[in-house]
Amino acid sequence: MKSKINIYLIEYAINAILRQKSKSFFIVFVFTLLIFLLTSVFFITNSIRYELDSTVDTLPQIIVQKIKAGRHYDIDVDAVDNIIEIAGVSDAVARVWGYYYFENAGVNFSVVGIEQYEKQYKNSFEKIADKFDLSDTESNPSMVVGHGVKKTMHQSYYKEYFNFIKPDGTLKKVNIAGVFDADTQLESNDIIVTSKEIAREIFDIDEAKATDIVVKVANPKEIPMIVSKIKSIYPDSRIITSQDLKVSYQNIFDYKSGIFLALFIVSLFTFFIIIYDKSSGLSSEEKREIGILKAIGWRVDDVLKEKFYESFIISFFAYILGVGLSFAYVYIFGAPILQNIFVGYSQLKTSFELPFIFDAQTLFLVFFLSVPIYVAATIIPSWKVATLEADEVIR
């Protein structure tokens, strides 16, 4: 006995698999499909999380919202002055942003108003937009839009400019000054960035009001304390810290939510069917075969080893095939059909080009959920038969 791997046993196992071609094919097919589905969903959710985590540190440290009757309400701009006076606060800025519903296309745009002459914004813009020129809002109101926005507007024949319908019914024409880089699509697809004045005009928000207030803090460790101080000044406020955002990002795919529940139920169901079929006992043919092997001198261990090879070959093959297909499906083809669960009915679709991360944890998880269970389901009934008296089985 040279090497530990018994080639003759493996050959016998392969022959056994080929002996039941259609059954083996069916099992491989179902398994591959299951693993394909599982890993695809895991890959998509992992990539989305990864994408979120890559930018989480640039989000505002403290966001102050006013809540009235459970609803997010406009906050007084005066609050900025009060907040800036709190010790530890380095800056507070009132923001104007909201959703503009473009009825023609049935689409929601997110409109964000910024102070266009802040130096930091100029540098940022250079990195992320093709061309821009937000100067001179009075005579030349303009905006920089995301890829999806440009496309939607284009489809409604708005090529160089767009007419917003103000709350009072009149139109506000705004020129499209630039488009955000396609690489930022996952974040910028539906966003319109314009000056605060134009945003105020579009939403009819008073100069004294703002959507929310963003607070910058010199020492991040002091955030909780500053939060409690703001809360004491403005008891009706809701304060979201960067820590809350991080937690919120982690909760995005709630394991109690629909998709994971459905996925696990489908997996369990499929498994249950296959394993029930396997463990409800072998067919009389299979029993006889084990009896013959025992009669010609195979021990129980030898029989089990052979069954192990058989089931491992099938399940491992299905696993590798499923994972390989899943990689291509999610990252090369953008997960057609499956992406619709995540995109929903949104009319503004992004390219769904997710960043690739190699997640060994997911791969191991799926492996251990599938291969060992199938192997066990095959070996256990074989073991039961193999330990019977060979004589009983043959006759």
Q: Which of residues 325-384 bind other proteins (CB under 8 A)?
A: 327-328, 331-332, 340-348, 350, 352-358
Q: Does 321 bind other proteins (CB under 8 A)?
A: yes
Q: Does 77 bind other proteins (CB under 8 A)?
A: no
Q: Does 266 bind other proteins (CB under 8 A)?
A: no
Find the part of the chain contacting other proteins (CB under 8 A) among 134-142, 168-176, 184-192, 370-378: 184-192
Cβ-based nearer residue to other proteins, 63 or 377: 63
Find the part of the chain contacting other proteins (CB under 8 A) among 11-19, 23-31, 163-171, 368-376: 11-19
**Nearest distance in Å: CB 64, other proteins:** 11
| Contact in structure between 27 and 334 (CB atoms under 8 Å) | no
Q: Does 387 bind other proteins (CB under 8 A)?
A: yes
Q: Does 265 bind other proteins (CB under 8 A)?
A: no
The two tokens of residue 172 are 């506000």
Find the part of the chain contacting other proteins (CB under 8 A) among 26-34, 74-82, 195-203, 299-307: 299-307
Q: Does 87 bind other proteins (CB under 8 A)?
A: no
- Tell me which H or E stretch contains 37: helix 21-55
Q: Does 84 bind other proteins (CB under 8 A)?
A: no
Cβ-based nearer residue to other proteins, 228 or 276: 228
DSSP string, 300-364: HHHHHHHHHHHHHHHHHHHHHHHHHHHHIIIIIS--TTTHHHHHTT-SS-----PPP---HHHHH
**Nearest distance in Å: CB 7, other proteins:** 6
Q: Does 254 bind other proteins (CB under 8 A)?
A: yes
The two tokens of residue 109 are 């745009």
| Contact in structure between 295 and 394 (CB atoms under 8 Å) | yes
Counting residues that bind other proteins (by CB under 8 A) gives 135
Give the footprint of other proteins on residues 234-253 (CB under 8 A): 238-240, 244-245, 247-249, 251-253
Environment class of 142 (CB within 10 Å of its CB; exposed 0-12, middle 13-18, buried 19+): buried
The two tokens of residue 87 are 């010790």
Q: Does 181 bind other proteins (CB under 8 A)?
A: yes
Cβ-based nearer residue to other proteins, 84 or 240: 240
How many residues make up the chain in this entry?
395
Query: Rounded to an integer, what distance in angstroms lies between the CA atom of residue 364 and that of residue 14?
Result: 25
Site string for other proteins, 203-222 (x = CB under 8 A): ---------x-x--------
Find the part of the chain contacting other proteins (CB under 8 A) among 167-175, 200-208, 288-296, 377-385: 288-296
Q: Of 160, 168, 204, 389, which one interacts with other proteins (CB under 8 A)?
A: 389
| Contact in structure between 136 and 117 (CB atoms under 8 Å) | no
Query: Rounded to an integer, what distance in angstroms lies between the CA atom of residue 65 and that of residue 98?
Result: 13
Backbone angles phi, psi at 372, to 5 degrees: -60, -35
Please state, in angstroms and as integers, the Cα–Cα distance from residue 345 to each residue in 28, 106, 108, 342, following that order.
Answer: 34, 10, 12, 9
**Nearest distance in Å: CB 135, other proteins:** 17
Give the footprint of other proteins on residues 108-127 (CB under 8 A): 108, 110, 112, 114, 120-121, 124-125, 127
Query: Rounded to an integer, what distance in angstroms lies between the CA atom of residue 393 and that of residue 386?
Result: 9
Q: Does 130 bind other proteins (CB under 8 A)?
A: no
Query: Rounded to an integer, what distance in angstroms lies between the CA atom of residue 160 and that of residue 195?
Result: 18
Q: Does 307 bind other proteins (CB under 8 A)?
A: no
